[in-house]
Structure 1
Amino acid sequence: MPMDLLLARARGLWEDLAQAPVSFASSGSVNVVVSPRSELCPAGWVGVVALGGSAIVTAPSESAAVIVRDALGRLPAEAVVDSAAVRAVLPVARVLGPAALAYVSSGSFRPVGDGALMTVEQLSAAHPDVRALEQRAGREDAGEAALDEITSPAFVVREHGRVVAAAGYQAWRRGTAQIGVLTEPEARGRGLARATGSAVVAHALAAGLLPQWRARRLASRRVAGALGFEELGFQLSVELV
């Protein structure tokens, strides 16, 4: 898929999630809209998504939108997802992100080869071995992967009978597959995330879905890059004081 079509599909997804009429306009633009039901961020927060050089922003109320529109209008589009830059112009209580947004097409996907020295097994999304992995990984990492929300099977790697890595996806709007990958802390750095991630991306592409890899941590972003994902932008959520 050409990069402009990949970007168009990604933008269409986030425009839908804004839950209000808004679009990514010309390069450098930042469009702010009032949307109490926005899915760009937690309820009551300000949601910011920048893709391909322009950004859309949702605010929970008209009064918040006035403040946000004035403040973010002073920043270039690429800076509206920079938490430090946003804190400098807005009264911020809490921030989530920024998280990189990366996408891959079947033509650019680089799967792990069949010769990999590990077996990827397929389990049901609710399998207790996946829940046990989440408990060992800890609340923060498990929450980031959100394997408890996947609608696909779970693709896992076992060591000594125990699931040490798992991946799956949640079916989002616009035919998007939101990828989640989780590896036990003691098993990281050995290619397990890439192996399970490769399996779940192949499953999503075979179903005609657009894989989306959303990550804050550099290690996760590197795994996505190794699989052929292209970072097209970032997401940031802001709670105002």
Structure 2
Amino acid sequence: MAHDPLLARAREVWLELAGVAMAFPAGGGVDVAASTRSLLCPPGWVGIVALNDAAIVTAPTDTQARIVREALHGLPVEALTDSDRLRAVLPVSEVLGPANLAYLDGCDFQPTGLASVDVLPGEHADLATLLASVPAKDADECGLADITSHAFVLRRGNHVVAAAGYRRWPGDAAHMCVLTTPNQRGRGLARAVASAAVADSLVNHLLPQWRARPEPSRRVARALGFRQLGAQLSLRIGA
């Protein structure tokens, strides 16, 4: 396979988050390791990240790593983020995901310019008001409460109805966080504020990362030029 710089950068992000020396196998397949410092998943869980034709998996103990390694042996990489396939070979008690992982090379960026996008400090009260105005699940999933960048927002009257920003991750990744109020969705606002956040991350020489499950969010990413490279899934096993 020809060298893909975007894929290589994306893999470096997750290898740093794994908390242990490991690698995406060069010929495809999966590398499984025990890591008590893994950030691929919640503590005590098994974390799986598949990018293109290879995957890495961390488990909280050597015993669980051995169980997972044996269970995943022979499975195609695309099955490693399929919860039904995993339940068939592992004693899975709980699953988070899968979430699609997409990344952006600056030369592929398709910006949407709106002069009305404002820039606010990430801790601004108007951002907190926006988060409080949406269902708790939306507020938690969007990640805006944890951004390290400025917030890029659109207003209707005095109210912020869409916002985006990013949290800087290890490996110089900019993890994108976007939220639009439910009654304003489908109008291109998410793309507008996300475009401003992406542009800011590129100016700062970061790698824009878009992690999403809902199709509307994935459509926004594609419209901006993001390329889906794989998926992430976390699971808790009983053994």
TM-score by length of 1: 0.95
Q: Which residue of structure 2 aligns with residue 189 of structure 1? A: 186
229, 235, 238: which one aligns with 1:238: 235
Give every structure 1 segment of 4 or more consecutive aligned residues whose post-TM-superposition deviation is greater than 6 Å.
none
Pick which of 100-109 and 25-34 moved more.
Answer: 25-34
Percent identity (aligned): 53
Q: Which residue of structure 2 aligns with residue 71 of structure 1? A: 71
1:132 and 2:133 are equivalent in the alignment: no
221, 224, 228: which one aligns with 2:221: 224
Deviation at residue 3 of structure 1 after TM alignment: 7.4
AA aligned to 1:226 is A
Counterparts of residues 167-186 of structure 1 (less than 5 Å): 167-186=164-183
1:95 and 2:91 are equivalent in the alignment: no
**d(CA) in 1 for partners of 2:28, 2:91:** 23
Q: Which residue of structure 2 aligns with residue 160 of structure 1? A: 157
CA contact (8 A) 1:165 1:193 kept: yes
**d(CA) in 1 for partners of 2:74, 2:83:** 15
**d(CA) in 2 for partners of 1:224, 1:111:** 11
Deviation at residue 156 of structure 1 after TM alignment: 0.5
Residues 187 and 101 of structure 1, relative CA distance in 2, 3 Å threshold: same
Residues 140 and 3 of structure 1, relative CA distance in 2, 3 Å threshold: farther
TM-score by length of 2: 0.96
Deviation at residue 201 of structure 1 after TM alignment: 0.1
Deviation at residue 26 of structure 1 after TM alignment: 2.7
Residues 75 and 222 of structure 1, relative CA distance in 2, 3 Å threshold: same
Q: Which residue of structure 1 aligns with residue 143 of structure 2? A: 146
1:119 and 2:116 are equivalent in the alignment: yes
AA aligned to 2:146 is E
AA aligned to 1:110 is Q
**d(CA) in 1 for partners of 2:41, 2:30:** 17
Question: Unaligned 5+ residue runs, structure 1?
Answer: none
Deviation at residue 119 of structure 1 after TM alignment: 1.3
Equivalenced residues, count: 237
**d(CA) in 2 for partners of 1:101, 1:131:** 27
AA aligned to 1:156 is V
AA aligned to 1:199 is A
CA contact (8 A) 1:122 1:153 kept: yes
Counterparts of residues 15-94 of structure 1 (less than 5 Å): 15-94=15-94
Per the alignment, in what secondary structure is the counterpart of residue 22 of structure 1? coil
Per the alignment, in what secondary structure is the counterpart of residue 205 of structure 2? coil
